[in-house]
Structure formats: C-alpha cells, structure tokens
Amino acid sequence: MSNDHERWRRIQDLCHAALERDAAQRGEFLAAACEGDEDLRREVESFLVYAGRANEFLGASTIQAVAFAMVGKPRGSLIGRQIGIYRVVEFIGAGGMGEVYRARDTKLQRDVALKVLPELFVRDQERLGRFQREAQVLALLNHPHIGTIYGFEESDDVRALVLEFVEGPTLADRITQGPIPLDEACSIADQIAAALEEAHRRGIVHRDLKPANVKLRPDGTVKVLDFGLAKATEGDDRTQSHAPTSPVGPTRDGVILGTTRYMAPEQARGRVVDKRADIWAFGCVLWEMVTGQPVFVGETVSDTISVILSSEPAWKSVPVGTPAGIRRVLRRCLEKDLVRRLHDIADARLEIHDTVAGVADVTDPLGIQAAIAREVDFQRLTDFVGMKESPAVSPDGKMVAFVSLDKGRRQLWIRLLAGGVPLQVTRDNNDHHEPRWTPDSSTLLYHSPSASRAEPGALWEIAALGGPPRCVAPALGGGDVSHDGRRIALFQSSADHIELVTMARDGSQRVCVARVSPGSTYRSPRWSPDDRFLAFQRDSLGFATYLEIVPAAGGEPREVARSAWLNGFSWLPDGFGLVYSSSQGSTLLYPPIFNLRTVGQHGRDDRQLTYGDQSFIEPDVHQSGRLLAGRIRAQSDIWKFAVGGSPAANTQGRTRVTRQTGQAQTPSVSPNGAEVAYVSDNGGHGNLWIATMDGSSLRQLTFERDPAVSVGVPMWSPAGDWIAFVVSRDWRSSIWVIRPDGSGLHELVASGWGPCWTPDGRQIIYTTGQDAPAAHLERIAVDGGTPVVVHTDASAPAIAPDGRTLYYVHGLRPELLGLRGDLQICRSSVGEGPSHEIGRIVASRVPVSARLLMLYLSPDGQWLAVPLVDGATSNVWALPTSGGPMKQLTDFGDRCNVIARSVSWSADSRFVFAAVAETETDIVLLDGLIK
C-alpha cells in the first residue's frame, strides 16, 4: 500500500477522533495529534470545516427533492424560451394538464397563457392527435365568458395549447376567503351559466367545471377556463375514463382529488356524460360560493364518491337568508336522478335573474344588481326619417326631449311618451345640443355653439312649450340642472385650463368643482340623484373615452369606466351606479357598435345590458327605471363615386361594390383597380377582406378573433405587394403589414396610426406620438429598420407622386377635437422645410367616429379627399393641393349616413371609393331593463 493510502487512513482517523470531541477542543487535539505535521493538520481541518453541514448533506430529503424534480419537469424551466411566436415570460402554475405559463405573442403583441402538455402525453402520438383535433373544435368556442383557445403550438420539444390569458384570481382562491356575498355570487353564477349555455348550444360539455377553472377578472368579468379539455385529454376508453378509480391519462393522476368533488353521480359511476354533468357541477360551484364549503367532501377519493352517490347535500348549511330561488336552483342542479335534474342551464339563469331582481327590491343596497331583469318592454318613440339624438326624459315621466334636424340645423323637439306628434321647441338658425330638463318638467337647458366658431358657445334655457330662449352662461358643451333645481353644472374654459363648474341658474355663485387638463375634451356633466356627485365623459387623444365622477363639492375626478368610445351615460335612479353606452366588445371602429352597460359608481360590477349589432347610445334613465336611448341601425357597403359631376350627380350615379348585411368599412383599392381591401365584420369579428371589384370573389385576409383587438384602415401599397393596416388594442394603435395573398403578416410600427405609402411602395409614413403633447410623422421601410422623424407637430400624412411633397394636418391637439378651432392642412417637403397652409377644416366637422382627420391624396396629386360631417350626414370633400376652396364630392342630403373613414381613389383619379353606412336613428324606450 502506498503512502497516500496510509496518509488517507491517518486523515480519516484524525477526523473521526476530532469529531468525537467538542468543537472548541478540536484545535488543541489536532495540534497535539499531528505532531508538528502542519500539512496533515491543515488537511484534516479542511475536512472538519464541513462537519457542521455534513449532517444535513445527502439526507433523506435530498433524494426526495431530486426524485421529485425528476418526476415533474423542473418547474418554470421554459421561462425565457421562445416557442414559435411566443416568448415565455412567467410561470403561472402547474395543473393536472401540465404547466401553465404566461407568454407574449410577439406577433400580435398580446399576452397568452401557454398550457404545456406533459411529456408522457406528448409521446403518445395517437393521443396527441386526438387531443389536437378536440382542441380545434374547442377553439371554435368564442364567448365573453369562456377563456378562448387560440391554437396549438408545436416546437422542438414542447407541445402547448395557446389560451387566452385571463388576469385575476380563480373562484377557488376567492372562496378560501369565505362565502361570497349573494349579489356577487349571483353575478358570477350568471356568467358561468352564460358560458355553459353557449357551450351546450354547440354540443360541448365542460366535464370539469369547478371553482379552480373559473377566473374572476378585476373588472368583474368571469371567465370559465378549460372547456372540454377533460374530454380532449382522456384516453381511448371513454366510459372508463370517467371513472376516477381507473385513471387513464397523466392528467388523471393529479386531478382526481380536485375533480371528484364536482363530479356528477353518473360521472362517478363511469357512465358517459352529457351537459347535465355540467349542470350538476354548476350546482356544486354555486353551493360552494353561497356556503363557502364544498357540498360533497370525503377523506379520500372513494369516500367522496360514496358521498356523492348516496348522501344528500347538508341543506342546513345553506345560510338562512338565501333566497328561495337560489335554493331551488341548488336543489334542481344537485338532483342525483338525471331525469329530474335541471335539463337546461338557461333555466338556472332565469331563476337567478328573478332572484336578483327580487332581492334588489328588498335588500340590495346597490341597485346595480337590479339591472338584470327578465322582461323588457321595448317601444320606439320616433318614427320619422333622419337623425335623432340626446333623448332626455322629463322628471314627471311624461315627455321626452330630443334633438333632430330641421333645415340642416339641430333643433330641440319634445314628444309625449304616451304618443302624439313631436313638437318643435327651438326654431332659430343655430344648432342646439343636449337638452336637459329642470325638475318641474317645464324648462329645457341646452347648449348652442356661438356664431364664431372659435368661441365655445353657451348654455341656454327655454320653456318646453316654446318661448324666447334665455342665455345662462358660456359653456364648452351641454350642462345639467341639479335635482333640487337650484344649480347647473357645466364645463368652461379658463386661460389654459378647462374647469367643471357649478352655478346658480341665473349664472351667479360660480364654484369651480375641478380643474381638468386641456389634453382631453369633456362633455355631459350629470348630477347624481342626491346632487352630491357629478359624472362626466372625457375623451382623450389616447384613443379612449372615460366615464369619471367627482364630488360636487370639489375634488379629484376618478375613473369609473372606460372604452375606446363611450356615447352617453345616465345615473341609475338609486345613485349607486350608472348606465352608459360603450363600444366595448365591438371589433369595428368606424363606427363601432355601442351597447348599454351598467357599472357601480366605484367602477365595479361592470356588465353589459344590451347585445347585438344595433347600437344603443345616450341613455337617460327616469326615476322609475324607464330608460330612453338613441338606437342606431346601420348597414354599410362600399360604393364607387365619380368625382367629375355635381355632388348630387356623383351621389346619384354611385355604384355598389360590396353587398352584405353587416358592415364594410375603410376601403382601399388595389393599384390595378381589380380588387378592394376593407374591414368587414363578416364572421363576427372585424377583419380584413379582399373583394374583386366585379363582386365575383371574396376572401378573408386576417383572422383576428380576440374581442379586445380591432383591425382597420387597410392601405394598399402603390406597388401592390403589401397592405398596411392598423391594429388597435387596449387603446393603443400599431401598424401592421400583410401581403395580399395573406402571407408575410408582421407588425411594422408598435405605436402609430394613419399609414400612407411612399410612391415607390417601399416605405410608409405614419403618425405617432400617442402620448406626446403633439403628434409627429415618422417614416419606416416596409422591411423594417429604424423609424426616422419626417415632420414634427403634424399628423395624417399624404405623399405626392413626386415622393417629396408632403401634405399633413398641422397642430393636431386634443382640444381641437372638441367643438372649437380649425385644423390646418399644410404642404411641406419630406424632412421639414418650409410649410404652407393650403386649407383649413373646422375641427367639429371631423367625423367623431374617424376621431382623427385623415387625408387621402388622389394619384394625380391634385386633390386631398376627406370625409366630413355635414349636419346629420357625412360627405366626401376634396381640397385642391394647389389651394383654393374645397369641393364637395358627394351629397347625401338629410340621410343619416356615415362615411366609414377611408376614401380610396381609382388609379385614374376619376373615382373615389368610400364605405357608406346607411343609418337609421330613433329614440327608443326600454322599460324593465333597469328596475
């Protein structure tokens, strides 16, 4: 044996011997034992320093942890990975189906959830294939309360479902804090039921409904996740797979315990299940919300199953105050006998609605819940052609005042709700906006702009049955009379601010309630029923509209709701919430569909009241709960107009390019004139489509389905090989390009709008600076690269055929989007240089739905086409690039038409194409929508 071996023995002996002693004595012991061999002593000590850690080291828990790591994948191991177009950002959790991550869709710039399938699952090709096929079917489910499946992603070693990312806790998280208050539980249950109703209608059964699969978004929206995935992941033997005692897939092993509790008796027996299993599970979930406890619990899986099969729910644990309707829903859902169980989830919804309505009358202090009612009486109050807006119901509930046109001017009219012919109240040669009643129902307050457009205008009063009007005070827009009749609220401008003020009816005792930034426009202050608060609407250049509330005594305004567009609102009679008109959920922007929603005054319980493709705007709620609103029905198609004749002749001789029942907006004609690209809501979501001019064929170009995303304003490049368009999401707008054959889709500009092409078709120039005090122009190559600033303090670019001359709108400022001021149209050269004004447009003539003015240059460089508001309608106008007066290209007369934003020229500059929405507006009464 070598010396090494001997020495190793020695070291060990000394180590063991030293470890027999107390730590304090080891030094002394070693010094003596090593007999001056310093190397030996150092070596032994080099081991002894680890003595403290040696006990724990390689303990039983270590192998446990290692083995566990082996069993699961290392959790969160995909963070930072790029999987297809998805960049994995964050580990969310691990569920029965595998790990879930938050990831960024780098193409659409949105967050998604990636559900990564377990490896063992992925290895089974057949099962994987079956799963993918199921996922495709499930991806067709598109509903506001169902977490959407976007698709299936496969990359080298990862197979993942791409799902809608839903913020917020799960219902399971929420229930751990205890039972959920009845009104909230009803709202959640109603939304879950709505999701089930939609899925069942399509023949899809959830099969694994439970609190952990229900997400509660901060805005109060409920989303049901993992629809049908339980089936999609199961093995061959369908009947078997429902039996928890014979877990088939990897998904089973982990989830049995969680799932068993919500399993219907027939499911627990291993029978094939139908939608009634979901209805059972719905009952379990409702029970758990109301009581805070699961309805069926056992120590083990088999205990739980036996409880489900044989025991009745502990009815005594349902809280005493629970309404009979909810008890009925629970009893009918938790019926073990399939035949006697509730057959249709819609019945549960009706019962819940009734309960909510009933409860609201008696106990619900936040009347917001009462917004759900079963029967709504609908009555159309106007019956003549032309626009009608701003309905206001008189406090005595007998009359409605509204605005309609007479000889091109907005005039006030009133009508008895009981019937009869409308009576015209104002007759002077001015416009009249936003009538509001005084409490005695005798007098109307309204706003009229001043004769000089630079001045803001004033509030006036007039007797409802006619008489001379009386000027009350200068105001930026409509005001409101307090319910005690003493004060009015209005917006006024001071030197460099806008102020929300209140004053006595004679204009004295002016009090500033809030001083607000001029970076937005403000309208429609409304007193709360107790006159303690004022709500108003704020439109910002940031592509959003806000509903805000401020104490009438003064204070900071706070946001209650927001949307891309809001279009009027009213306090609910109890003052605890508001009803408002919002474009939320509309994927068309020019114009959007507006629906009525309610929201609590603290911004909670936001929910939709109306649905469909008609718009409800400017609601006004009477104390009785009767609601008046403007109802708009619109149908738009793309038309071709000659520009050579008179406006009337051009309009009369127009030809229709598209023919559909829905909406066609923002056309752009291909350079060869053979096709037109536009936005259509064909299929439910606004997307780009291309139609041939002769109508012979139609194809869909983009396939966006996210309700939060809008696609719009295609611009065909002069070379014909690209189409630029705008994508809006979360009130941000980005510019994308796609080839006409649908390939090459990518984002070109993360923040920008209004793209125009350079004549060579290689670059776009666009407006950006959404958050800056003023917009500016930038240029970027279609292949990407770094954007270059082209012009400051400018928006809405158009490039002349020479590639150098630039037309733009100067000095776009948010406040100009209000009723005042002019937009200056200028000519300059690319890369600054001197600017010349070639024309001006009154800001109030820019269509609200267009939000921003855009210039559409004719290919011959002679004309800039713009859609402008003319009274109740819109027309296409053209500004000569050489300066001079504008030329009107179309004349729709008194028809309530809207030009859906873009104007596109034919290559020979002899025709323009525009989407014209033919709209019918009426004032309608909805009785019962609000209680």
Partner 1 sequence: MATGSSGQVTHLLRAWSDGDQQALEQLLPLVDAELRRLARSYMYRERRDHTLQPTALINEAFIRLAGAQNIRWQDRAHFFGICARLMRRVLVDYARARGFQKRGARAEKVPLHEVSIPAPELPVDIVALDHALEALAIKDERKSRVVELRFFAGLSTEETAEVLRVSPDTVKRDWRMAKLWLLRQLEEGSGE
Nearer to partner 1, 95 or 395 (CB): 95
CA–chain centroid gap for 728, Å, is 10
| Cβ–Cβ < 8 Å for 702, 745 | yes
Nearer to partner 1, 93 or 555 (CB): 93
Please name the helix (run of DSSP H) or strand (run of DSSP E) that holds residue 197, with its range, or none: helix 182-201
Nearer to partner 1, 92 or 338 (CB): 92
CB within 8 A of 77, min separation 6: which ones? none
Nearer to partner 1, 58 or 320 (CB): 58
Nearer to partner 1, 92 or 642 (CB): 92
CB of 110 to partner 1, least distance (A): 24
For residues 245 and 69, give the distance between their C-alpha atoms in angstroms, rounded to a whole number: 26
Nearer to partner 1, 29 or 91 (CB): 91
CB of 167 to partner 1, least distance (A): 16
For residue 591, is the peptide bond before it cis, meaning its omega torsion is within 30 degrees of 0?
yes
Return the structure tokens found at 560.
């209650």
Assign 347 to helix, strand or coil.
helix
CB of 10 to partner 1, least distance (A): 12
* Residues paired with 491 in a beta bridge: 500
CB of 282 to partner 1, least distance (A): 18
For residues 907 and 60, give the distance between their C-alpha atoms in angstroms, rounded to a whole number: 80
Nearer to partner 1, 72 or 801 (CB): 72
CA–chain centroid gap for 564, Å, is 8
Assign 414 to helix, strand or coil.
strand
Nearer to partner 1, 71 or 320 (CB): 71
DSSP H helical segments within 202-274, as ranges? 229-232, 238-241, 250-260, 265-268
At 313, which amino acid appears?
Answer: P
CB of 151 to partner 1, least distance (A): 25
CB of 77 to partner 1, least distance (A): 7
CB of 179 to partner 1, least distance (A): 18
Nearer to partner 1, 89 or 376 (CB): 89
The Cβ of residue 318 has, within 10 Å, a number of other Cβ atoms equal to: 17
Nearer to partner 1, 59 or 365 (CB): 59
| Cβ–Cβ < 8 Å for 765, 789 | no
CB within 8 A of 555, min separation 6: which ones? 513, 514
CB of 250 to partner 1, least distance (A): 7
CB of 926 to partner 1, least distance (A): 43
CB of 271 to partner 1, least distance (A): 23
Provide Rg for the chain, Cα atoms. Answer: 34
Nearer to partner 1, 212 or 263 (CB): 212
Nearer to partner 1, 233 or 586 (CB): 233
Nearer to partner 1, 53 or 407 (CB): 53
Positions touching partner 1 (CB under 8 A) are: 8, 12, 15-16, 19, 46-48, 50-51, 53-54, 56-58, 60-77, 91, 93-96, 120, 172, 210, 212, 250, 253-255, 257-259
| Cβ–Cβ < 8 Å for 718, 737 | no
CA–chain centroid gap for 865, Å, is 32
CB of 22 to partner 1, least distance (A): 17
CB of 27 to partner 1, least distance (A): 17
CB of 185 to partner 1, least distance (A): 20
**Between helices 345-362 and 275-291, what is the axis angle to 10°?**
20
For residues 691 and 786, give the distance between their C-alpha atoms in angstroms, rounded to a whole number: 34
CB of 660 to partner 1, least distance (A): 47
CB within 8 A of 583, min separation 6: which ones? 563, 564, 565, 566, 567, 589, 592, 593, 594
For residues 36 and 32, give the distance between their C-alpha atoms in angstroms, rounded to a whole number: 8
CB of 46 to partner 1, least distance (A): 6
CB within 8 A of 507, min separation 6: which ones? 472, 473
Nearer to partner 1, 85 or 172 (CB): 172
CB-side neighbour CA atoms (13 Å) of 179:
15
Nearer to partner 1, 32 or 70 (CB): 70
Return the structure tokens found at 460.
């006036």
Taking the alpha carbons at both ends of the chain, their separation in whole angstroms is: 99
DSSP string, 528-585: -TTSSEEEEEEEETTTEEEEEEEETT----EEEEEES-EEEEEE-TTSSEEEEEE-TT
